[in-house]
Amino acid sequence: MKIDEFRPRLARWTGSTNRITQHMIGGRDPSVINLSGGLPAPEVYPLAAIAAATQRALARFGAQAVAYGPVEGMPALRSAIAARLSGPRQKFSVANVLITTGSLQGVELLGKILLEPGETILAQHPTYLGALDAWRPREPSYRILDWNADEARLGAELRAAKFAYVVPNFSNPTGALVPVEARERLVRAGRTADTVIVEDDPYGALFYDGDAPPSALELSGDGGRGDTYRGPVVYLGTLSKTVAPGLRIGWAVGDPSVIAALSLAKQGADLCTSTFNQAVALELLEAGVERETLPAMIARYRARRDAIVTATRQYLHNSFEFTPPSGGMFLWLKSRDPAIDTDALWQAALAEGVMFCPSSVFDPSGRDTSAIRLNFTLNEETKLVEGVRRLAAALQRRS
């Protein structure tokens, strides 16, 4: 028998995937300041509330809390999500909601049900790397969505794509907030083109300088006439940024026909999302955990945003330009100097003890080395300032 030589052939797409994510979310080296992931501050997790919710969930649901559950999710949790999103513009019903194992699973399942191998996605550029990863096995092509295009142009772009993917609230990675008029144009064009618009909204609760504009989902509603949404937007939400990512509870909300197709894909992905975690999530939502924790979380993140903006102006102004974000988790720094290669800078920065996310991982072609993404929610202010200082030192050393 051959030993130590087992080398199966792998599918082609596995050669194209990024290896940064594993550093971002798995990194545990305490000497490195991690500015790379979309990670919440660990001190905001409501541990006591989760412990209490677990006991209540087991008492309330008994064996059902640890059994297999419906593929689409626990009816009570689907109802709670439908109620939470319902408003004057649109009512949602259980048929509009699929519970997912984190909102990334919704991203992945949408690619599966909509794309034939090689088909086209219309996406903001740069694009969330988790979405690029999720769709790699379908080997899609990408076209760049121009938020400023008129409705006719958007319609043509949508008809040429299998779906559009947008993050209107603090676009990952750029942190940009898309104005309501642009959302409305896209929604009208999507309806005319019968093309799905995937609206990924993990950061929708994290507004630091004002209120959230209506989502594309709300803007595409029927004005409150029906009790079940029928339209082109599939909205992805999550507890990962406002409660705790380790529960892996997300939801996809959309037209019942799309939800039914997503359920078929989910039955072949993980059968159902953990019923245990769904029951805990339901208890947390019913107890109003987000209402209780969000104000302090937002105050904390606002202070951190302010700290990283100040430090970046102080240490990196000569090398990078940026727009301070009004919410979310990220600062997007565009290089002023074409000689800066941010992939090379990643290695240099790691040697200085700081980790960021280079722009190449947000580019479907992997070639953009002109920018970097910094997270400001995981670390407290002094660490953020020290991280930016180390990044400046890495830049210095290179030049």
Residues of this chain, 31-70, that bind its own copies according to CB under 8 A: 37, 39-40, 42-43, 45, 47, 50-51, 54-55, 58, 62-70
User: How far apart are the C-alpha atoms of 346 and 32, rounded to whole Å?
Assistant: 12
Parallel/antiparallel/unpaired status of strands 320-321 and 330-335? antiparallel
User: Quick check: 163 and 114 in contact, CB under 8 A?
Assistant: yes
Residues forming a β-bridge with 237: 251
Nearest approach in angstroms of CB 376 to its own copies is: 17
Q: Is 137 exposed, middle or buried (0-12, 13-18, 19+ CB in 10 A)?
A: middle
Q: Is 262 exposed, middle or buried (0-12, 13-18, 19+ CB in 10 A)?
A: buried
C-alpha distances in angstroms, 252 versus 75, 167, 183, 242? Answer: 14, 14, 19, 17
User: Quick check: 333 and 374 in contact, CB under 8 A?
Assistant: yes
In the stretch 151-170, what mask flags binding to its own copies with x, by CB under 8 A?
A: -----------xx-------
| CB nearer its own copies, residue 49 or residue 333 | 49
| CB nearer its own copies, residue 267 or residue 396 | 267
- Selected from 35, 85, 99, 135, the binder of its own copies by CB under 8 A is 135
Nearest approach in angstroms of CB 282 to its own copies is: 13
226 counts as binding its own copies under rule CB under 8 A = yes
- Selected from 188, 334, 389, 398, the binder of its own copies by CB under 8 A is 188
300 counts as binding its own copies under rule CB under 8 A = no
| CB nearer its own copies, residue 178 or residue 234 | 234
b/e code 123-136 from CB counts within 10 Å (16+ = b): bbebbbbbbbbbbb
Nearest approach in angstroms of CB 348 to its own copies is: 25
- Selected from 77, 86, 97, 130, the binder of its own copies by CB under 8 A is 130
User: How many CA atoms lie within 13 Å of 38's alpha carbon, on the beta-carbon side?
Assistant: 25
Nearest approach in angstroms of CB 92 to its own copies is: 15
Nearest approach in angstroms of CB 158 to its own copies is: 11
140 counts as binding its own copies under rule CB under 8 A = no
User: How far apart are the C-alpha atoms of 386 and 139, rounded to whole Å?
Assistant: 40
> Which of the residues 246 through 285 are near its own copies (CB under 8 A)?
246-248, 255, 257-258, 261, 263-265, 267-277, 280
User: How far apart are the C-alpha atoms of 91 and 221, rounded to whole Å?
Assistant: 8
Parallel/antiparallel/unpaired status of strands 141-144 and 357-358? unpaired
Q: Please choose, out of 19-27, 325-333, 339-347, 350-358, the segment that lies near its own copies by the rule CB under 8 A.
A: 19-27
> Which of the residues 337 through 396 are near its own copies (CB under 8 A)?
none
| CB nearer its own copies, residue 202 or residue 352 | 202
C-alpha distances in angstroms, 273 versus 17, 71, 91, 166? Answer: 25, 7, 25, 24
Nearest approach in angstroms of CB 68 to its own copies is: 4
User: Quick check: 110 and 163 in contact, CB under 8 A?
Assistant: yes
User: Quick check: 383 and 33 in contact, CB under 8 A?
Assistant: yes
User: Quick check: 330 and 173 in contact, CB under 8 A?
Assistant: yes
Nearest approach in angstroms of CB 291 to its own copies is: 19
Instruction: Give me the phi and psi of 23, to 5 degrees please.
Output: -70, -40
Nearest approach in angstroms of CB 323 to its own copies is: 27
| CB nearer its own copies, residue 175 or residue 202 | 202
> Which of the residues 103 through 122 are near its own copies (CB under 8 A)?
104-105, 108, 112-117
Nearest approach in angstroms of CB 183 to its own copies is: 15
DSSP letters along 190-217, please? HHHHT-EEEEE-TTTT-BSSSPPPPPHH
| CB nearer its own copies, residue 122 or residue 176 | 122
| CB nearer its own copies, residue 10 or residue 339 | 10
- Binding residues for its own copies, rule CB under 8 A, total 99
